[in-house]
């Protein structure tokens, strides 16, 4: 994959097609250890291979042994298949580095995830998962995020805001009310009741967490959702209630520490919080394998929630990683911001099939109107693309696309297929980088409501 080259190209182009999102699953690489592939888990590998017409890359001791071969394959997706006994804090860091080094630029080169399960039959269930349409969400942080889904419920995680609730009804804006739980016991019972209703397609958690549990209040509290032997229990002083669910969903542990540690030297997968959710309907789980202290991952909402279902759960994480790499590569963050971006970007991991279609159902006008027009030349591998963006919404708070940063200065868009030999013809962005999979744009200054920009470039497409 290559960066842009500022040059022109004279060629005859024909029909224009408008593209709003990724059209199809591209090359799919399955990376697996030889001991896993040769045993009962080989059925999981074969199921992925059949579902996605994937290519299997088998290594002996380390994925690094097949990195060059995977890079030459130029995959759109990389799925690492692991038994639940893997050391996941260590493996997740290796997988992240692996998918950043499939070529010679600093950007992430594939949408990746780790497929595991309590056993191979559980993993097969995840392979066979149907697309998840996210209509109803539950969050214990940033209740205003519910404005981007049709329906949902919010319960505060902050002890300072005890009693605060929120609701999003179809066709209505998100609203905050009082009168909610005022103690850990009440909070545990209330949240247990909501989750037991089993009506959510998306669950968002923040606050303190561990390999086996989630603390319901922040910064301290005595209410927990705890996993043990693949089962959940909600506890608080005087409260002990089992919990289970079956509805297909995705789980976004946006600010929880350690819930992505499925297994490690000190923690056993049988008590994994992430895996237990994946036994209770979660088809994908996004969490951290180390303690978090920086809010980089919260910016994923700019793709996943605020674009009206344009991007899937896993595509949104990939785009966040591309965006954060641009900030680092262009030296736009320094000090604690740089340390936090580098650290946080490496410790979050997606569990499940990275090609799963899990999208938010559009509830309002997207924050950005993005279009991509594609013209094909007589040489059909050669294309001219025109990307346009118009800002419809600028958020509040301190995220980098919010008012505090003067709006949407830097963003990125996932191309429908990989391209190379990029040559920019014209643009009114300050800078554009096209590292094969995405358009990364920098307006030079923040864009606000009504602002528009575009770039036209030629490229050679990579055929599946």
Question: Locate tokens 């991991």: which residue?
Answer: 349
Note whether 149 and 240 are same-domain residues: yes
Note whether 136 and 285 are same-domain residues: yes
Note whether 263 and 167 are same-domain residues: yes
CA–CA gap between residue 386 and residue 427 (Å, rounded):
9
Note whether 280 and 196 are same-domain residues: yes
The contacts of residue 229 (CB under 8 Å, 6+ apart) are 270, 271
Residue that terminates a domain, selected from 313, 338, 360: 360
Strands 165-168, 175-177: pairing is antiparallel
Note whether 174 and 269 are same-domain residues: yes
Note whether 273 and 138 are same-domain residues: yes
Domains in the chain: how many in total?
2
Answer for the pair 415, 435: CB distance below 8 angstroms, yes or no: no
- pLDDT the model gives residue 430: 96
Strands 382-391, 77-81: pairing is unpaired
Note whether 138 and 17 are same-domain residues: no
Note whether 281 and 146 are same-domain residues: yes
For residue 10, is it within any domain? yes
Residue that terminates a domain, selected from 360, 385, 419: 360
> Which mean pLDDT values do the consecutive 10-residue runs of the chain (464 residues) have?
38 51 70 95 96 96 96 96 94 93 92 97 97 97 95 96 95 94 96 96 93 93 95 97 97 91 88 96 94 85 96 97 93 90 88 97 96 88 95 80 83 94 96 95 94 97 79
For residue 60, is it within any domain? no
Sheet holding 231-236, edge to edge: 213-215, 224-228, 231-236, 239-243
For residue 187, is it within any domain? yes
Note whether 270 and 373 are same-domain residues: no
Please give the model's pTM, rounded to 2 decimal places: 0.93
CA–CA gap between residue 226 and residue 213 (Å, rounded):
4
The contacts of residue 87 (CB under 8 Å, 6+ apart) are 263, 264, 265
For residue 181, is it within any domain? yes
Which among 357, 346, 302 has a CA at the least distance from the CA of 321? Answer: 346
Per-residue three-class SS string for the chain: CCCCEECCCCCCEEEEEEECCCCCCCCEEEEEEHHHHHCCCHHHHHHHHHHHCCEEEEECCCHHHHHHHHHHHCCCEEEEECCCCCCHHHHHHHHHHHCCCCCCCCCCCCEEEEECCCCHHHHHHHHCCCCEEECEEEECCCHHHHHHCCEEEEECCEHHHCCCEEEECCCCCCEEECCCCCCHHHHHHHHHHHHHCCCCCEEECCCCECCCEEECCECCCCCEEEEECCEEEEEECCEEEEECCCCCEEEECCCCCCCCCCCCCCCCHHHCHHHHHHHCCEEEEEEECCCCCCCHHHHHHHHHCCCCCCCCHHHHHHHHHHHHHHHHHCCCCCHHHHHHHHHHHHHEEEECCCCCCEEECCCCCCCEEEEEEEEEECCCCEEEEEEEEEECCCECCCCCCEHHHCCCCEEEEECCCCEEEEEEEEECCCEEECCCCEEEEECCCCCCCCCEEEEEEEEEECCC
Note whether 377 and 283 are same-domain residues: no
Note whether 284 and 382 are same-domain residues: no
For residue 45, is it within any domain? no
- pLDDT the model gives residue 13: 53
Residue that terminates a domain, selected from 316, 333, 360: 360
Answer for the pair 91, 82: CB distance below 8 angstroms, yes or no: yes
Token pair of 243 as six digits: 């919990």
The contacts of residue 38 (CB under 8 Å, 6+ apart) are none
Domain containing 454 equals 5-21+365-461
CATH assignment at residue 376: 2.60.40.1170
For residue 346, is it within any domain? no
Token pair of 388 as six digits: 């346009």
- pLDDT the model gives residue 22: 42
- pLDDT the model gives residue 344: 83
Answer for the pair 232, 198: CB distance below 8 angstroms, yes or no: no
- pLDDT the model gives residue 15: 54
Token pair of 386 as six digits: 């025109």
CA–CA gap between residue 394 and residue 87 (Å, rounded):
41
Token pair of 10 as six digits: 């004279």
For residue 164, is it within any domain? yes
For residue 390, is it within any domain? yes
Compute the C-alpha angle 115/361/177, nearest 5°: 105
Note whether 264 and 166 are same-domain residues: yes
């Amino acid at each position: 994959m290559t960066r842009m080259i500022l040059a022109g190209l004279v060629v005859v182009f024909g029909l224009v097609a408008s593209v709003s999102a990724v059209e199809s699953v591209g090359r799919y690489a399955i990376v697996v250890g030889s001991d896993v592939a040769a045993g009962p888990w080989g059925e999981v590998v074969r199921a992925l291979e059949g579902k996605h017409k994937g290519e299997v890359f088998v290594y002996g001791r380390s994925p690094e042994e097949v990195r060059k071969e995977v890079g030459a394959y130029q995959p759109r997706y990389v799925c690492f298949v692991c038994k639940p006994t893997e050391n996941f804090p260590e493996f997740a860091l290796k997988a992240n580095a692996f998918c950043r080094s499939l070529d010679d630029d600093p950007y992430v080169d594939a949408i990746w995830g780790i497929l595991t399960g309590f056993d191979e039959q559980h993993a097969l269930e995840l392979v066979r998962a149907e697309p998840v349409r996210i209509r109803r969400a539950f969050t214990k942080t940033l209740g205003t995020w519910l404005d981007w889904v049709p329906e949902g419920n919010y319960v505060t995680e902050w002890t300072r805001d005890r009693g605060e609730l929120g609701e999003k009804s179809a066709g209505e804006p998100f609203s905050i009310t009082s009168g909610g739980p005022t103690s850990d016991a009440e909070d545990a019972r209330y949240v247990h009741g909501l989750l037991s209703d089993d009506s959510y397609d998306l669950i968002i958690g923040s606050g303190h967490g561990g390999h086996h549990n989630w603390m319901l209040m922040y910064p301290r509290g005595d209410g927990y959702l705890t996993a043990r032997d693949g089962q959940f229990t909600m506890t608080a002083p005087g409260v002990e209630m089992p919990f289970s669910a079956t509805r297909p969903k995705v789980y976004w542990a946006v600010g929880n520490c350690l819930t992505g540690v499925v297994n490690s030297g000190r923690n056993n997968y049988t008590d994994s919080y992430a895996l237990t959710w994946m036994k209770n309907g979660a088809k994908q789980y996004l969490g951290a394998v180390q303690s978090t202290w920086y809010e980089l991952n919260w910016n994923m909402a700019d793709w996943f929630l605020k674009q009206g279902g344009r991007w899937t759960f896993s595509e949104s994480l990939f785009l966040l990683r591309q965006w954060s790499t641009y900030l680092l590569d262009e030296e736009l963050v320094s000090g604690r911001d740089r340390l936090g971006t580098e650290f946080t970007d490496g410790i979050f991991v997606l569990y499940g099939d990275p090609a799963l279609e899990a999208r938010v159902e559009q509830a309002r006008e997207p924050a950005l109107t993005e279009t991509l027009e594609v013209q094909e030349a007589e040489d059909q591998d050669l294309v001219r693309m025109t990307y346009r963006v118009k800002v419809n919404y600028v958020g509040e708070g301190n995220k980098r696309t919010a008012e505090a940063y003067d709006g949407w200065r830097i963003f990125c868009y996932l191309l429908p297929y990989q391209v190379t030999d990029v040559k920019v013809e014209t643009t009114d962005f300050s800078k554009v980088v096209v590292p094969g999979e995405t358009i990364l744009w920098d307006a030079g200054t923040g864009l606000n409501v009504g602002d528009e920009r575009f770039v036209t470039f030629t490229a050679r497409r990579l055929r599946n």
